[in-house]
Structures are given as structure tokens and as C-alpha cells.
Structure 1
């Protein structure tokens, strides 16, 4: 593991919490790139994991408040980054400009609900002042590579596409690629982006 150069508060998507294989693999890969990861479960997910009973996500204002509190409790010994998978990434981007984080990374941003490309969740991304990297699967049903190029986004928003990957970075077998390769690539892209933004 490289010596940490940044600390990331990393949270999950709507359906699976920080104990999921994806989140654990991503956190491990980021750590190997020198990003110290603090995994964070929203309250509804913590209860779901504790009881085994499925719960719907809390509304976004509640999620943002929980995330803001979690950010405030982190030590400030390293530059702070916020990030998340899908819903968690969206929450991070919505909080970015108003919190002490230097930048954010979204892993599979939910640009729109699957099958409803007209219901965009991009308004705040048009005016973002801090750096954001969105790492998106080429075949993501929440916003694929073809759709993304047409979105009006702030100049502070960068996007990176994972070849043939879906919303969870899984490619079809015929591609010859693997989810593990994409998670590693996502971690490498994250580190390169942050080193550039932090001038390291």
C-alpha cells in the first residue's frame, strides 16, 4: 500500500451497503493507490444490515444531513475527498460545494432512472465549483457513454468511461474484461485525478 495522500469518505448505493463485495473491493483498490478510505453506511442501510430486513433509502435531504455530519467528524490530517457508488455518489456531488471536501468522485452516477432518460439529475452538476470525477460504465443504464457526452455539465466535472461496463462495472463475458479489472482501473483513475487536483 502506498503512503496515504488523501482521505476519502466513501458511501454506498441504494440497494447494498458498505459490506457488499463491490464496496469492499473498491475500498481495497483505492487504499492500494494511496487513498485512505473511510466507509460510511447511511442510517437506513446500517439498520438493514443489522436486522436483515430490506429498507428503502431515506429521502435525499436526510442522506445529505447524515453525510454532512460524517464529514465533520473526520480528522483533517489529509486532504478530504468524498465519494460514493450511484446514490452515494449523487449525494456526495450535491454536498460537495458546501462542505470542506476538496473534491468528489462518483462511481456510476445515476444520471437518470433506467429507461427514463428524460428525468435527468444533472441540474447541480451544471454549476459545480469544486472538482468532480464521474467514472461511468459504457453500458450503464443510469446514463451510458453515448448519453453523457450530450449533457451540459460544469467545466469542473470530468468523466471517465469503463469499456463495456454496466452500472456496477461488470462487463459481458464476451468483452474479455472483468469487473475486477474495472475496479482497479477506477481506483487508478481516482488516484491520478486526485493527485492532479491536489498538486501531488
Structure 2
């Protein structure tokens, strides 16, 4: 049994969001904690978990590279199978990639990507968009306009599925940290991301 963190809303949950972490930070990083809290205040039950390599790092403190993609997918697949009721898959960066690839397969009502890694920083030719050109369930990507993994002008040129929604966080970096000159804070952008995500989930359920 994998260890998980669950953020329960005050009332009956509108849906459950299975939320995966990114490559370098665990499920209880400040970003993941703030995002989960912001979603739960909007009526979403959030289940956070760790992929095997991150769980091992928690045990002995040694940093490891992420597991191969099939291992990451199987980890999320097994957890999704344990959740009843309306389910959405989501993730931060690498976790977003896993969620977007698995959502239709596991029968999720949709997927949400918080900072999608469209390409490695500085390598725009190495895109990770093939599975996003035809999606089998509703999808939403919330991305900062300064994200080195995919900026607006780059993403606009991609042949993404018309059903895939994109929401841009003005001045946000990959972790949604904005420029000081913007007058906004990372917490404000996380709250905006949570609001957009919660609205997306409600709309997806209403249409299904």
C-alpha cells in the first residue's frame, strides 16, 4: 500500500483529484501542499502520492532519477483503481505527463496538467505532445507564460487536440512563481490555477 496524503473539502466532494508530483519535489512540497489546499477549499478531494523513486528517497534521503515511464504509469494506475466516484487525474510537470497519458485508459472524467513539460528547457525540438494531439477525455493545461518547458508562442504552434483547454497564468514560471514587477505572488497564481481547475472539473462532470 502506497502512502498518500488526502485533503478533504468541508462538505461532500464534487470529485476526487489524484495528484502526482513533479520529477524533483515530493508530494508534500510547498507547491503541492498549497495547490492541494486551494483545491480542497473549492470542494475537491485531493489525493497526493509519491512515485516509487521518491518514496525510496523519503526512506533513505538519497536522490534518485525518476522511474521509467511504465513504472510511473503503473503506480498511478493502481491508485486510480482504488478510488470510487468521479475521478480526475492531475500532476505537476512530469506528473502531469503521466496523468495526461493515463486518464482516458483508467476511465477518468478528465485530466489537469499544472505546468506541462512540452519540451525540455532549451530544447524546443524535443516535444512531448504526441498523445495530446488526440485526447480521449477532457483535458486542461494550466501553464505560466514564462515557463521554459513551453511558452505561449511555442504552444500556439503545436497541433494539439481542439478539446484540450489551455489557461495561461500571466508572468508565471514553471512553479507559477511570477515576476515581482507583476505585483502578484506565487500563492495568487496557485489560487488562480485551483479556481480554473475546479471550474473545469465541474463543467466536465456536467457534460458527461
Q: What TM-score do you get using the length of structure 2 for normalisation?
A: 0.92
The corresponding residue for 2:121 is 114
1:2 positional shift: 5.2
The corresponding residue for 2:111 is 104
**What does the per-residue CA deviation read over 1:112-142, in whole Å, with 9 as the maximum and x for residues that have no partner?**
0000001000001001121010000000000
Secondary structure of the structure 2 residue equivalent to 1:97 = coil
Secondary structure of the structure 2 residue equivalent to 1:98 = coil
Q: How is 1:1-200 mapped onto 2 (pairs within 5 angstroms)? A: 1=10, 3-74=12-83, 76=84, 78-199=85-206
Kept after mapping to 2: 8 A contact 1:136/1:159: yes
1:156 positional shift: 2.0
**What does the per-residue CA deviation read over 1:87-129, in whole Å, with 9 as the maximum and x for residues that have no partner?**
0000000111211211000000000000000100000100112
Gap runs ≥5 in structure 2: 1-9
1:40 positional shift: 1.2
Alpha-carbon distance change, 2 to 155 in structure 1, aligned in 2, over 3 angstroms: farther
Task: State the 4+ residue runs in structure 1 displaced beyond 2 angstroms.
Answer: none
Kept after mapping to 1: 8 A contact 2:17/2:45: yes
1:3 positional shift: 3.7
Q: Which moved more, 1:47-56 or 1:13-22?
A: 47-56
Secondary structure of the structure 1 residue equivalent to 2:17 = strand
Q: What TM-score do you get using the length of structure 1 for normalisation?
A: 0.96
- In the aligned structure 2, how far is the partner of 1:72 from the partner of 1:179? 33
- In the aligned structure 2, how far is the partner of 1:100 from the partner of 1:130? 8
1:50 positional shift: 2.0
Kept after mapping to 1: 8 A contact 2:42/2:195: yes
- In the aligned structure 2, how far is the partner of 1:21 from the partner of 1:119? 29
**What does the per-residue CA deviation read over 1:15-69, in whole Å, with 9 as the maximum and x for residues that have no partner?**
0010100000000000001110010110110111222111110011110111111
User: How many residue pairs get matched?
Assistant: 198
